[in-house]
Amino acid sequence: MPQGVVQAERIFDGTRWHSDAALVVEDGRVAAIRPAGPGPRLTGALVPGLIDLQVNGGGGVLFNNDPTPAGIATICAAHARLGTTATMVTLITDRPQVTAQAVAAAETADAPGLLGLHLEGPHLALSRKGTHDPALIRPMEAADLQLLTAAAARLPHLICTVAPESVTPAQIAALAAAGTVVSLGHTDCDAATARDAVQAGARMVTHLFNAMSQLQHRAPGLVGTALDDPRLWSGLIADGFHVEDAALRVALRAGGERIFLVSDAMSTIGTDLPGFTLNGRQIFRAGGRLTLADGTLAGADIALIDAVRHVHRALGWPLEQALRLASAHPAAALGLTDRGHLRPGARADFLCLTDDITAGGVWIGGTPVETT
């Protein structure tokens, strides 16, 4: 198993900084952080690897278009090169056979950094479809529930984004009991309905603010419920387009301990592609945005490290907090205790963060990742 010592000018263990320190790796896990000894030091800071719970694609591959183990491997590798050491590969609304293919691929894929599968749809609300194909959105049926509960038993982790309009509290409860993380999203539900879903077992909200009922003073909607209910974790896309910076600040102040950053990345990450197709529709890439022809946002053109940079530089959040939003928080949201930090016993997933907040080097399980 990978082992060794990596020395750096600074190491952030997820809680505090260590200056001129060495990270000791044994059997792919962190054994200790100790003062540096003789020998070279990396320029930059070692920090916990980033954990992205919503990744639709990367490296030229969109998971909907290539729901195979090879597609997963390409996506994970593209994001690993950019500092994301743990990835929930995401399939958005598609046909039942594609969902089944995605589940089978996630079961058999051998991709460093793969955490599991995030199924975003098809059981959503047409009124909040976003870029999802309305022809493929539908209520959950018995066969769907059977497939998902069986998948939850076989996959290391499964997130299902659903709308209360298309699922019942009993279905949410069955999914949660099977080990699925039920996330609410693409919904127009009111706060009372959202609370019923939480009571049934929902524990997450998908891309807060986007494609959901908004916060009003007499109608809190899903946004207000997410920021108020301590049982809910919320993903947030911090790319400067999906959520205006003032709203990002409000969300982080109101629910910062229960918010994690996601990329919602598409196939363009790590490439110079001008666009791609999704369910037969053309997605255009320009100015840092991905859109349908009508201007509807269609996922994001960022990796998770770009969201960290945005929170730190554009919002002025301390670097430590920005890093935790992309490491410790998603780990906690998924119930992971050995990731998101570099304390003894943690998986040796880390990156060397440059002054420009880019990945100068990446390790997964103590093994260096090729970054070029």
Tell me which H or E stretch contains 331: helix 328-333
Partners of residue 85 on adjacent β-strands: none
As given in the structure block, the two tokens for residue 206 are: 């998908």
Place of tokens 């769907």: 144
Cβ contact 268:291 at 8 Å? no
Integer angstrom CA distances of residue 304 from 52, 154, 263, 342, 351: 7, 27, 5, 19, 13
Q: Which two tokens stand for residue 16?
A: 């505090």
Q: Is 264 helix (H, G, I), strand (E, B) or coil?
A: coil
Q: Residue 358 burial (CB < 10 Å; 0-12/13-18/19+)?
A: middle
Report the candidate in 89, 93, 36, 19 with the shortest Cα–Cα distance to residue 269.
89
Of these residues, 264, 301, 306, 349, which one is catalytic?
264
- For 204, the token pair is 């997450």
Active-site annotation holds for 264: yes
* Alpha-carbon separation of residue 97 from 67, 71, 182, 351 (angstroms): 10, 16, 21, 37
Structure tokens at 120: 């975003």
Q: Which helix (H) or strand (E) holds 171?
A: helix 169-177
Q: Which residues pair with 120 in a beta bridge?
A: 92, 161
Catalytic residues: 264
